[in-house]
Structure 1
């Protein structure tokens, strides 16, 4: 991990600054591992766990034999009192997810909080513009809707911030063609309710703290209004209707598999 990445992780509020020893126990070769979740989104709590996401590369024999390949691997452990969660997909599965309107995997791929990287990671990241489409608005619209319903059931700050983060990421993507998942940065680029910085500050105290002192009707109006802004941004977006990187990604997967 570079010093720049160490500094970036420290600014993100991570309780650990070098996760490489933990990744050494990951099964199989990793193409990359990055930090996702609340740390990436810019509103971690003092008791947040660390979500690590990435890609591993299965050997060719695992895919052509009779056994079912382990396309998704999960490992959870604790270090210095902090819970860590590593989830990786095999390269082929991850690329297939990239080719869908799935903003989540693109956020992982392009996360600036890089714990482990490789030339393959660099190639995948370079291909990201070729998979971005106006249909990614559906992903962020749907994710925001799910989190809004969860907020309605729990009253917790976390799903409320996830709701706003998803909507603002979607709006920014439709307008700029760039994936940005960091809510504090998005607040400087997209018009958003003025109370969001206070909510971010409040969540720092507890991962599952409740939202207090809010005008529920006003918050609901704000969410509805941002849905409308996302709809308009999708209509006006210059992003294509379909991914253009299919063949290039196919070649990348084949080459990585045969030379890995």
Structure 2
């Protein structure tokens, strides 16, 4: 399937580097996209490239005696850039989709696509069926984990991850649309005025210190966004539970048997 590589080039990614690596995978890939800082809109010059996707195990791997390789992971260095690829078997990925798991939806809906198929498009079309009000809990929890990491380290990366998670959750609750790109989300609510300068600082170093903002000020702003997320969840028109189970089941069966 033809890919529009404009988003990849805009994210500063080496588009032509991915095909040979993906060709080494032991089985068919349904899709592979870029996640992490490139997707979130604040990669550094020394950022790793995080590839995420879905593979499809043959039926015999699931009905035989051997444990199926439901998750595959490998890392490599290309031209001085650290890269890693993590893929889940389609059944495992869809089961994660049916939970309030924003992380797998971000991988599925990432505009930074390095490999796609017709089934990827079909799976993407089903994503709205699994978005629920309870995804707010996912983003609240992820933001909390990153905030605690920032408190321990004082690093810029987890601070930006905190703000990104909260703003993604707020936007999802309000619009039913999943947007993971922090610069795009800055107009979502009255965001702190220092965020653009933090994004610029992150471009210089992956693990730089968050020296441009006072920790107490950041804590106040993060707490305020948690409150906005809670309000957005309470007012959201998203359903309480995911739908589309039968359609997703049929998709997995067709992919496996096909």
On the 8 A contact 2:15/2:114 being kept in 1, the answer is no
Equivalent residue number for residue 124 of structure 1: 123
1: distance between equivalents of 2:176 and 2:2? 28
Question: Which residue of structure 1 aligns with residue 75 of structure 2?
Answer: 76
1:57-68 matched pairs, under 5 angstroms = 57-68=56-67
In structure 2, distance between residues paired with 1:45 and 1:185: 18
- 1:4 corresponds in structure 2 to 4
Question: Aligned equivalents of 2:177 and 2:201: distance in 1?
Answer: 28
Task: Give the CA deviation at 1:2.
Answer: 4.9
- Structure 1 residues 214-223 or 237-246, which shifts more? 214-223
User: For 2:3 and 2:26, how far apart are their aligned partners in 1?
Assistant: 26
Matched with 2:175 is 176
Which position in structure 1 is the counterpart of 2:231? 232
Corresponding residue for residue 197 of structure 2: 198
Q: 1:184 to 1:2 in 2, by over 3 A?
A: farther
Output the TM-score relative to the length of structure 1.
0.97
Contact 1:172 1:190 (8 Å CA) reproduced: no
- Say if 1:156 and 1:208, in contact at 8 Å, map to a contact too: yes
For 1:258 and 1:52, the matched residues in 2 are separated by 26
How far has the Cα of 1:165 moved from its partner?
A: 0.1
Aligned to 1:13: 12
Give 4+ residue runs of structure 1 displaced > 2 Å after superposition.
Answer: 1-4, 188-191
Residues 3 and 113 of structure 2 are in contact (CA less than 8 Å); yes or no, is this contact kept in structure 1?
A: no
**Unmatched segments (≥5 aa) in structure 1:** none
Query: Unaligned regions of 5+ residues in structure 2, if any?
Result: none
TM-score (norm 2): 0.98
Tell me by how many angstroms 1:191 deviates.
2.5
Return the alpha-carbon distance in structure 1 between the equivalents of residues 130 and 12 of structure 2.
Answer: 31
Q: CA RMSD in A?
A: 1.0
Residue 158 (structure 2) aligns with: 159
**Partners in 1 of 2:2 and 2:150 — Cα distance?**
38
The answer as to 2:117 corresponding to 1:89 is no
Which string of whole-angstrom CA distances, capped at 9 and with x for unpartnered residues, describes residues 172-230 of structure 1?
00000000000000113333111100000000011000110322211111000000000
Q: Partners in 1 of 2:107 and 2:38 — Cα distance?
A: 12
Alpha-carbon distance, 1:8 to partner: 1.4
**1:2 and 1:44, CA in 2 relative to 1: closer, same or farther beyond 3 A?**
farther
Deviation at 1:13, TM superposition (A): 2.1
